[in-house]
Amino acid sequence: MTGPSRDNAPGAWTKSRTASGETVLELSERDEQGWSVVTVKGRLDSATVKRFSEQCAPWIEGGPPNVVLDLSALEYVSSAGLSSILSAAKKLQARSGRFAIAGLRGLVKEVFAISGFETVLATFPDVETAIKTS
Amino acid sequence: MEEVQRVVAFVADLAAGAGLGAEKGKRLELAIEEWIVNVCKYSYPGAGGTVEVALHKGRGNLQVDIADEGLPFDLTATAEPDVAAPLAERQPGGLGLLVIRRMMDEVGYVRDGRRNIVTLTISTAQS
């Protein structure tokens, strides 16, 4: 696969911690069939969203413009998180890329439904289906 | 914004101690976060301010009162964003108040002198 080099090594994990030291956000990225699969674990809230945006920037703004966010291990998302996901989706759209969400469940799925994001964004039950169908 | 999460965690711990289950606890956390972020962003333009939080255990519910002395703002009177709009027309704002309304069983507001007082109520019954 050719394209711009990435700042993050394949499969590299990055973590976000609160001031108390507790880890609440974990991100990792891997390449799969021409897609950048970004796995988000923990909480995407007002405290972690800045780190989320900064660490996803290389994958959203560079590299292949096909990104799927694997949210199957995301336990909590607030409107701050939704805004950053919306921003990512719009940036990929501007690059004529594809953006998909996979693995919505529980309260996160409900928040996506409330906000209309479950329909305005391409959502799938899992990463494999997202890549095959998009 | 880490201060916001300290408040959220504090209320969440109190709510759990008062018998609120884990699933409803997350719903309460979400509503608290959304409102306190709103206060931080808009209530005290150009200056700091205080927020007071009180939790009351009622019969079958928990009530959280959040008071600030910022600009008057009635969250119950605001219009909801168009959640059916296509991606290109979606704007990032407005979702926080919508989330609060959907997460809580009741949302109340009063302007008491110089204070906004928002009351969030959630049933403690298992969902």
- Which domains does chain A carry? 24-128 (3.30.750.24)
- Domain-by-domain residue ranges, chain B? 2-123
Q: Do A115 and B30 touch (CB under 8 A)?
A: no
pLDDT at residue number A8: 43
Strand partners, B46: none
Give the one of B2, B88, B96 whose C-beta lies nearest to A19's C-beta.
Answer: B2
Q: Do B4 and A46 touch (CB under 8 A)?
A: yes
Q: Do B84 and A107 touch (CB under 8 A)?
A: no
Q: Do B1 and A114 touch (CB under 8 A)?
A: no
Two structure tokens written together for A127: 């990463």
Question: Nearest Cα to B119, choosing from B47, B64, B53, B40?
Answer: B64
- Maximal CA-CA distance, chain A: 42
Q: Do A90 and B102 touch (CB under 8 A)?
A: no
**What residue has token string 């507790």?**
A22
Q: Do A46 and B92 touch (CB under 8 A)?
A: no
What's the ipTM?
Answer: 0.90
Give the one of A79, A93, A107 whose C-beta lies nearest to B96's C-beta.
Answer: A79
- Triad B68, B73, B77: Cα angle to 5°: 135
Question: Nearest Cα to A122, choosing from A111, A112, A107, A110?
Answer: A112
Q: What residues of chain A have any CB closer than 8 angstroms to a CB in chain B?
A: 18-20, 45-47, 49-50, 75-76, 78-80, 82-83, 86-87, 89-90, 93, 107, 110-111, 114-116, 119-121
Q: Please give the torsion angle defined by the CA atoms of residues B12, B16, B21 and B26, in that order, rounded to the nearest 10 degrees.
A: 10
Two structure tokens written together for B22: 């884990």
Cβ-contact A87, B90 below 8 angstroms? no
Question: Nearest Cα to A69, choosing from A78, A82, A79, A80?
Answer: A82
Q: What distance in Å separates residue A84's CA from the closest CA in chain B?
A: 8
CB proximity list for B106: less than 8 A, separation 6 or greater: B119, B120, B121
Convert the pLDDT of each residue in B101-120 to its tens digit.
999 999 999 999 999 999 99
3-state secondary structure of A91: helix
Convert the pLDDT of each residue in B41-74 to its tens digit.
888 888 788 899 999 999 999 999 999 999 999 9
Whole-number Å distance between alpha carbons of A125 and A93: 22
Convert the pLDDT of each residue in A43-86 to its tens digit.
999 999 999 999 999 999 987 899 999 999 999 999 999 999 99
Whole-number Å distance between alpha carbons of A59 and A6: 8
Question: Which chain A residues touch B29 with a CB distance below 8 Å?
Answer: 76
The CATH number corresponding to B2-123 among 1.10.443.10, 3.40.50.720, 3.30.565.10, 3.40.50.2000 equals 3.30.565.10
